[in-house]
């Protein structure tokens, strides 16, 4: 429908519009792609050693790229607990290409996708897998940056994805900070430490978020209940399928349950600890079944009420930091080193002796009972820290050892 007023200068309008849009977008994409602030296409380049902001973004992109280039023989899978806690600078896997492929807020499905992705380039000999119960035990992705298109994308598709990701002013802002803002350059990129979150970054992040005491304030005063998984059976079935498939090809598995702090354990599972126990039983059953099929597989539980997880909190000691923990659910790499030693070298004696229990058909019942007893004992010996925990109140009301 032609307008009454004649519109003139259309060709100049389109030329100016097209040129401005194309030049601006192309300029930004070029800057982003060359500087690559999130290391989405860096592996063995000097850019990988350049200092970055502490909160590194779109880490899954970087890790999927690194997996394709580095082709690791040993991989770590799981969530931020694995990403932060399991050290890559370890003698346990000396001589092996090792990559920490855990990503923050990863679900079980994310970890499986990461495993399938890295295996499409080179099947790992061993997978060390930190399992999370709660909402993360599901197939659906938990990390919004873990674009499923990234998984095993061919070079051309990967290039297109990277280009698409580079069409972003937010990335340019970070590129500018890396180039010209010394204050933003805090710590090594995550790939420089083979996928483990660098400690220096964590120190900045913790300081920024108020430190360890503030994190424990929350867990002591309010609790932090974990949402139940929506379909445990489906997720367990998925894990069965994956382990069976990889075991058949000769991959070894080392599963473990994270040593979150005892107060976090009390807060997370205060309403559904029985479901947690059932989950552990199912896991032990699954691992036993694989072992009987000839798979090199183990499952250890480092959670509960042992010498590591019951470390006194800053509110009691008056210190600003803790020896084993960044905060209530994220432990330090020294703890991770002990986990690796216990998982990979079974003959290594636990230091301290009660840290980590092997789960299988023979041990599981006794272990679950010990957990309950440990909980009761912890409640009784830490009345101030556990005063808001429903499970502890119940213990006090009913006496220790309630079912």
Partner 1 sequence: MIFNSFQFLFLFLPVTLLGFYLLGRSSQKRAALWLLLASFVFYCSWDVRFLPILLLSMGGNFYLCRRIIAVPQASKKAWLSAAVVFNLALLGYFKYINFFIASINGLAAQDLQLLSIILPIGISFFTFTQLSILVDAYYGKVQAIDFLHYALFTSYFPYIVAGPVLHHKDMMPQFADPANYQVNGNNFAVGITLFAFGLAKKLLLADNLVPMVNAAFGSDHPQLLQAWLGVCAYSFQLYFDFSGYSDMAIGVSRLFGFQIPFNFNSPYKATSVSDFWLRWHVSLSRFLRNYLYIPLGGNRSGQWARYRNLLLTMLLGGLWHGANWTFVIWGGLHGLYLCVQHGWRGLRGDRAEPPGKLEAFANRALTFLAVMIAWCFFRAADVPSALNMLAGMVGGNGLSLEFAAGPFGYWMLAISAGMAFFMPNTNEMILHLESRFANKPSSFSLVPVRWSPGLRWGLATGILLALCILSMDKPQDFIYAQF
- If the CB atoms of residues 169 and 380 are measured against partner 1, the closer one turns out to be 169
- If the CB atoms of residues 124 and 142 are measured against partner 1, the closer one turns out to be 142
- If the CB atoms of residues 25 and 179 are measured against partner 1, the closer one turns out to be 25
In whole angstroms, what is the distance from residue 58 CA to residue 311 CA?
Answer: 33
Q: Give the shortest CB-79-to-partner 1 separation in angstroms.
A: 21
Q: Give the shortest CB-160-to-partner 1 separation in angstroms.
A: 10
Q: Give the shortest CB-24-to-partner 1 separation in angstroms.
A: 4
Within a 10 A sphere around the Cβ of 315, how many other Cβ atoms?
15
Q: Give the shortest CB-14-to-partner 1 separation in angstroms.
A: 7
Give the containing element (helix H, strand E) for 301: strand 297-301
Site residues (vs partner 1, CB under 8 A): 1-5, 7-10, 12-22, 24-25, 28, 144, 164-165, 167-172
Q: Give the shortest CB-98-to-partner 1 separation in angstroms.
A: 31
Q: Give the shortest CB-6-to-partner 1 separation in angstroms.
A: 9
- If the CB atoms of residues 164 and 351 are measured against partner 1, the closer one turns out to be 164
The alpha-helical segments, DSSP class H, found in 190-272 are 199-208, 211-221, 232-248, 262-268
- If the CB atoms of residues 32 and 79 are measured against partner 1, the closer one turns out to be 32
Residue 101, classified by CB atoms within 10 Å of its CB into exposed (0-12), middle (13-18) or buried (19+), is buried
Phi then psi for residue 29, to 5 deg, are -60, -40
What are the strands, taking DSSP E only, across 78-122? Answer: 98-100
Query: Of 83, 60, 79, nearest to 336 (Cα)?
Result: 83
Per the omega criterion (within 30 degrees of 0), is the bond before 85 cis? Answer: no
Furthest CA-CA distance within the chain:
89
- If the CB atoms of residues 166 and 310 are measured against partner 1, the closer one turns out to be 166
CA angle 210, 324, 124 (to 5 degrees): 110
């Amino acid at each position: 429908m032609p307008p009454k007023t004649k519109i003139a200068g259309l060709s100049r309008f389109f030329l100016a519009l097209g040129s401005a849009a194309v030049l601006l977008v192309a300029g930004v994409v070029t800057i982003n792609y060359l500087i690559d602030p999130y290391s989405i296409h860096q592996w063995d380049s000097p850019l990988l050693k350049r200092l970055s902001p502490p909160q590194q973004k779109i880490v899954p992109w970087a890790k999927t790229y690194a997996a394709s280039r580095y082709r690791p023989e040993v991989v770590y899978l799981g969530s931020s607990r694995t990403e932060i806690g399991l050290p890559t600078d370890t003698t346990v896997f000396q001589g092996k290409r090792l990559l920490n492929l855990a990503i923050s807020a990863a679900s079980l499905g994310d970890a499986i996708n990461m495993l399938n992705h890295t295996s499409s380039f080179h099947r790992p000999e061993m997978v060390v897998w930190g399992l999370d119960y709660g909402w993360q035990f599901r197939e659906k992705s938990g990390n919004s940056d873990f674009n499923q298109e990234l998984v095993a994308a061919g070079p051309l598709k990967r290039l297109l994805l990277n280009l698409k990701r580079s069409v972003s002013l937010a990335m340019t802002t970070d590129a500018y900070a890396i180039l010209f803002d010394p204050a933003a350059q805090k710590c090594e990129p995550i790939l420089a430490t083979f996928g483990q979150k660098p400690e220096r970054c964590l120190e900045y992040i913790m300081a920024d978020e108020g430190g360890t005491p503030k994190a424990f304030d929350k867990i002591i005063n309010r609790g932090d209940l974990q949402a139940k998984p929506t379909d445990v059976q489906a997720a367990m079935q998925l894990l069965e399928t994956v382990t069976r498939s990889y075991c058949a090809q000769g991959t070894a598995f080392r599963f473990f349950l994270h040593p979150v702090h005892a107060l976090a354990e009390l807060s997370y599972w205060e309403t559904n600890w029985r479901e947690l126990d059932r989950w552990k039983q199912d896991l032990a059953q699954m691992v036993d079944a694989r072992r009987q099929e000839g798979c090199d597989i183990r499952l250890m539980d480092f959670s509960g009420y042992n010498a590591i997880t019951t470390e006194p909190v800053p509110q009691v000691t008056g210190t600003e930091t803790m020896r084993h923990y960044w905060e209530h659910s994220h432990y330090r790499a020294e703890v991770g080193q002990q986990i690796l030693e216990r998982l990979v070298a079974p003959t290594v004696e636990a230091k301290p002796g009660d840290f980590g229990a092997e789960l299988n058909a023979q041990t599981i019942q006794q272990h679950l009972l010990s957990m309950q007893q440990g909980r009761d004992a912890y409640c009784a010996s830490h009345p101030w820290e556990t005063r808001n925990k429903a499970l502890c109140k119940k213990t006090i009301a009913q006496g220790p050892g309630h079912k």
